[in-house]
Structure 1
Amino acid sequence: MNILDLEFVKGFIRMCNDGFNQGWHERNGGNLTYRIKEEDLKDVRDLLNTDGEWLEIGTEVPSLANEHFLVTGSGKYFRNVILDPESNIAIILIDETGTKYQIQWGLKDGGKPTSELPSHLMNHAVKKEVSGGKHRVIYHAHTTNTIALTFVLPLKDEIFTRELWEMATECPVVFPSGIGVVPWMVPGGKDIAVATSNLMKEYDVAIWAHHGMFVSGEDFDLAFGLMHTVEKAAEILVKVLSITPNKLQTIQADEFRQLAKDFNVTLPEKFLYK
């Protein structure tokens, strides 16, 4: 079997293309990683290169030791992934210490995994633990309307969550745990990775101020759908704010409570007070 015929690889490529078509990945913006199920590699292990150099991750993720990941490349363009996957994405293996990685397939023209690899792997480690291993996808994109809101709303979890919940009835059902907000930080380093992973203990969505959105999900559909829903809510809010600073009507706290009851989700009370 060819690696490009594997279902998770095809799903990864489709998600990259879907994100580009949404306008979220200008130039080389954004990154995507997938924690591979080991059984998915059973038929292609002989195609993996196990002799490559071991490189420093830039952080420590011991709980991900000996796991494989499919990742986008640093400086690579999402729009090119569907055209030439083997040049733009890679399968990497984390070493037994959780401090180094080895490229075992892909990036055939050279290069390294995404510069956000420390953030991705630290968040994979957190979500693996808190989800009991169910979460496998971490996705970062430059979502236009969400970024715009970080210039006009206070950078507080409670405000972003409540404002976006109010924009569409499905929102509190899709992201009932809420949204975390990271103040502006230099991307690609350990500091933003730590700040985001702390939020990911509680949320599946983190907004990076003036930069974009960072989400976690069990699979490609759920992760993409989560980002799509939050960004659509942000688009509605941008339109509302462009019309008036004061909403004439909106969903009220008790209505959110009724919604939670009917859809069997738990909405933290801290987001229901204004």
Structure 2
Amino acid sequence: MTKEKFINSPYADEMRKITLGLYTHGWDERNGGNVSYRLTKEEVSQYADVDTVLRNVKIDFDASELAGQYFLVTGTGRYFKNVYDHCERDAGLVQIAADGHSVDIHWGFNDGGQPTSEFPAHLMTHINRLKVDADQRIVMHCHPTNLVGMSFTVPLDEKTFSRILWKMQAESIVVFPEGLGVIPYMTPGTNDIGAATAAKMKDFRVVLWPHHGIFAAGDSMDETFGLIETVEKAALIYTTVQAQGGHFLQEITDKDLADLAARFSIKPNPDFLTGKSLVEGK
């Protein structure tokens, strides 16, 4: 294997599989999603020539805190349904330049493409998550149908959203014990929404963009994808209950949540552990 064969690396393979999974779940229609994957120089140098820069492109953000870091990232305007077969065109391996305001492309984007327009938001999230988790690797943005639907009918309040999702299935509080971060509706593709999301990422690994989608972060592709799956499954259960009339006769209680936390040795957000019941009259 030559150092030009990054397409055969496990990292490109993971990107191809995860983008296909996001598309087939219906969460990334058209060009409606983006993924970034932080890699080390040691990992990259096994498969790519790190001394060769194909192009340098500007980014609208000062990422100097990440100078020298490598990211495998999806491209702007690219359809996730195509990444599996055209990874070298629809994704690219970039390194944050020393000035922080541009990236050097080492592989990919072979038709002249560039990183996703949400890349500044990804980098802001990576910066803040690395301060919490030194193993932070992945940022995913997608449009989970049922969770986005809830943003039209549920108050945009973190406690309300988190408690509903926790109470829809026993797995929820185990997978995202910190709950769900929520920001106000903001125009996507801007540094403002990126900064608001990154600020929430100090306390949460998944943040809702109302009427749009979510940002999720994690240590691996599987972990981050699984986080999104769990959140969206809880939203689907809530949507199903609402379609059945929306009347809760029973629920996972606050005591049940506390018991789950004790059983799995997790520390849920204490502000979200108690509150209004979903069962009318309680």
TM-score, normalization: structure 2?
0.93
CA distance in 1, matches of 2:160, 2:246: 15
Farther-moved stretch of structure 1 (57-66 vs 81-90): 57-66
Q: CA deviation at 1:54?
A: 3.9
CA distance in 2, matches of 1:96, 1:230: 37
User: Structure 1 residues 79, 226: CA separation in 2 closer, same or farther (over 3 Å shift)?
Assistant: same
Q: CA deviation at 1:168?
A: 0.6
Farther-moved stretch of structure 1 (3-12 vs 116-125): 3-12
Q: Name the Cα RMSD after superposition.
A: 1.3
Match of 1:16 in 2: 19
1:67 correspondence with 2:69:
yes
Match of 1:224 in 2: 225
SS in 2 for 1:153: coil
Q: CA deviation at 1:229?
A: 0.7
SS in 2 for 1:166: helix
CA distance in 2, matches of 1:228, 1:65: 32
Q: CA deviation at 1:51?
A: 5.0
Match of 1:40 in 2: 43
**Identical residues among aligned pairs (%):** 38
1:140 correspondence with 2:141:
yes
SS in 1 for 2:251: coil
CA distance in 1, matches of 2:7, 2:148: 34
1:90 and 1:103 in contact (8 A); partners too = yes
Farther-moved stretch of structure 1 (193-202 vs 62-71): 62-71
2:9 and 2:47 in contact (8 A); partners too = no
Uncovered stretches (5+) of structure 1, i.e. residues with no partner: none
Which residues in structure 2 correspond to 1:1-274 (within 5 Å)?
A: 1=1, 2-46=5-49, 49-50=52-53, 52-55=55-58, 57-131=59-133, 133-274=134-275
1:48 and 1:105 in contact (8 A); partners too = no
SS in 2 for 1:16: helix
CA distance in 1, matches of 2:68, 2:79: 28
Q: CA deviation at 1:48?
A: 6.3
Q: Which amino acid aligns with 2:166?
A: W
CA distance in 1, matches of 2:237, 2:6: 40
TM-score, normalization: structure 1?
0.96
Q: Which amino acid aligns with 2:210?
A: A
CA distance in 2, matches of 1:125, 1:228: 24
Output one character per residue of 1:149-175: Cα deviation in whole Å (capped at 9) or x when no partner: 000000111111000001110110000
SS in 1 for 2:271: helix
CA distance in 2, matches of 1:49, 1:75: 25
SS in 2 for 1:101: strand
1:122 and 1:194 in contact (8 A); partners too = yes
1:74 and 1:115 in contact (8 A); partners too = yes
Q: Which amino acid aligns with 1:68?
A: Y
Uncovered stretches (5+) of structure 2, i.e. residues with no partner: 276-282
Q: CA deviation at 1:5?
A: 1.4
